[in-house]
Homo-oligomer: A and B are copies of this chain.
Amino acid sequence: MNTWGSNIKVSIFGESHGRGIGIVIDGLPGGIELDTEQIKREMQRRAPGRSSISTSRTEADEVEILSGFFDGKTTGTPLAGIIRNTNTISKHYDKDLIRPGHADYTGFTKYGPAHDYRGGGHFSGRITAPLVFAGAIAKQLLNMHGICIGAHILRIKNISDDSFDPIGVTEQQLREISGKDFPVIDDYKADMMKNRIWEAKTEKDSVGGIVECAVLGMPAGKGSPFFGSVESRLSSMLYSVPAVKAVLFGAGMDFAGMLGSEANDEFYTENGVIKTYTNNNGGINGGISNGMPIIFKTVIKPTPSISKPQRTVDISKNENTEIEIHGRHDPCIVHRGAVVIENAAAIAILDILFDK
C-alpha cells in the first residue's frame, strides 16, 4: 500500500522526525539525462521555511540519489532517493493528546501505541517531499514527450484567482506560474491571499483553498475504461496527498446544473487533428485522454495544526480535555500544496502515458 503505479511504480517511506524519508522509483527508461538543478529547484518550491507565511521549520531537503543513476543518466533500474530529516523538534508533540483534523487518533487505532507520533510521523505532509522529487523527474520525462503540467492556487478562503482557460491555456502560461513563489495567475489576488493567510496566522488559525492543474500535450488514447481510467488513477494519486478532500475534473460541480447539450464537448477536425469546441470533460472521455488539456481541481482543507484551544481526548486516560498546538506550522499549505499536487500529478500522468 506504500507503492503506487502500473508502469512507473513509486514506493515511499519515512516519518517526519525519523532519520530520513525517501522514495524508490521503478520503471524509468535507461539512458535519460536528468537535470539535477531542476530537481533542486522543484524541491525548494515545496520546502518549508521560505517565507513569513510558512512554517519556520527549515529543511534543506537535499535528495541523495542512491541508485539507478550513473554518469548523469538513469540506468533503467530502480532509482532511490533519500532525504535526511535535520531540523526536528519533537518536544511539542504530546503522544496522548490527539490533534483534531490530524491522523493521531486513526494512526493510533491502526498501528497501536508504537507508531511514531512525532510531527505526525508517517502521516506528515513532510512525506510529500519524496513525491516532489519523483514528480520533478517525471516532469522532465513528460517534457521530452511534449507534455507540460502546471498548477496554480484557484482560491484561498474567499479570494479567487482566474481559472485556466480549458481550451486556450498555454505552455508559456504554465511555465510562468511555476516560476512564481506564490503560484497565482492574477498577482493582485496573490497579495490578497497572502494577507488573508497572514491574518489567519495572527488569529492562531489557518485557511484552506483550491488548486487547479492543467496538463498540456497529452496524446489522445491514454488511460482505460473503468478501473484504469485517467480520473481513477489521477484521483488515487491526488488523494494520497494529505489534506486533499475533493478532486474534480473539467467542469466539476457545474456538471450537476448543466444540460447534456451544454455539457457535451462537440468535436471538429482541423488540419487532420480532432479537437473539441469546449472542454467541459477536462480532456477525458470514457476514462481516456482525448487530446485536449487535462484540467482538474483539488480542494485542500485548512491546516489542522492551529494554536487556538481545541477540545480533544487524552487517549491514555480516555478523558475529555483541551489542546493548544504550539510548535511550527503553516497557517496555509495551499501554495506548497500546489507544488505537491503538480508533481504528484506528473507521476500519475507519466504512468498513464506509458500505457500501451
Give A290 to B20 CA distance when docked, in angstroms: 28
| Interface bits A185-207 vs B (CB < 8 Å: 1, else 0) | 00000000000000010010111
Cβ–Cβ < 8 Å partners of A217 in chain B: none
Contact B259 A106, beta carbon cutoff 8 Å: no
A window 298-319: CB within 8 A of B:
299-306, 308, 310-313, 315, 318-319
Contact B301 A75, beta carbon cutoff 8 Å: no
Chain A contact residues: over half helix, strand or loop, or mixed?
mixed
Give the copy number. 4
Closest to A14 in B: B67
A285 interface hit (Cβ, 8 Å): yes
Among A13, A76, A115, A267, the one with the most B-chain Cβ atoms within 10 Å of its Cβ is A267
Contact B77 A111, beta carbon cutoff 8 Å: yes
Contact A13 B68, beta carbon cutoff 8 Å: yes
Pick the interface stretch among A22-30, A43-51, A133-141: A22-30
Cβ–Cβ < 8 Å partners of A231 in chain B: 239, 244-245
Contact B264 A306, beta carbon cutoff 8 Å: yes
Cβ–Cβ < 8 Å partners of A29 in chain B: 356
Pick the interface stretch among A54-62, A119-127, A162-170, A175-183: A119-127
Q: How far is the CB of A30 from chain B (nearest CB, A)?
A: 4
Contact A1 B15, beta carbon cutoff 8 Å: no
Contact A301 B258, beta carbon cutoff 8 Å: yes
A256 interface hit (Cβ, 8 Å): yes
Closest to A72 in B: B114
Q: Which of B3, B67, B263 contacts A122 (CB 8 A)?
A: B67
A78 interface hit (Cβ, 8 Å): yes
A86 interface hit (Cβ, 8 Å): no
Contact B226 A12, beta carbon cutoff 8 Å: yes
Contact B242 A286, beta carbon cutoff 8 Å: yes
Contact A226 B127, beta carbon cutoff 8 Å: yes
Contact B66 A13, beta carbon cutoff 8 Å: yes
Cβ–Cβ < 8 Å partners of A64 in chain B: 19
Give A185 to B284 CA distance when docked, in angstroms: 32
Contact A76 B115, beta carbon cutoff 8 Å: yes
Contact B71 A114, beta carbon cutoff 8 Å: yes
Cβ–Cβ < 8 Å partners of A263 in chain B: 101, 208, 301-302, 304
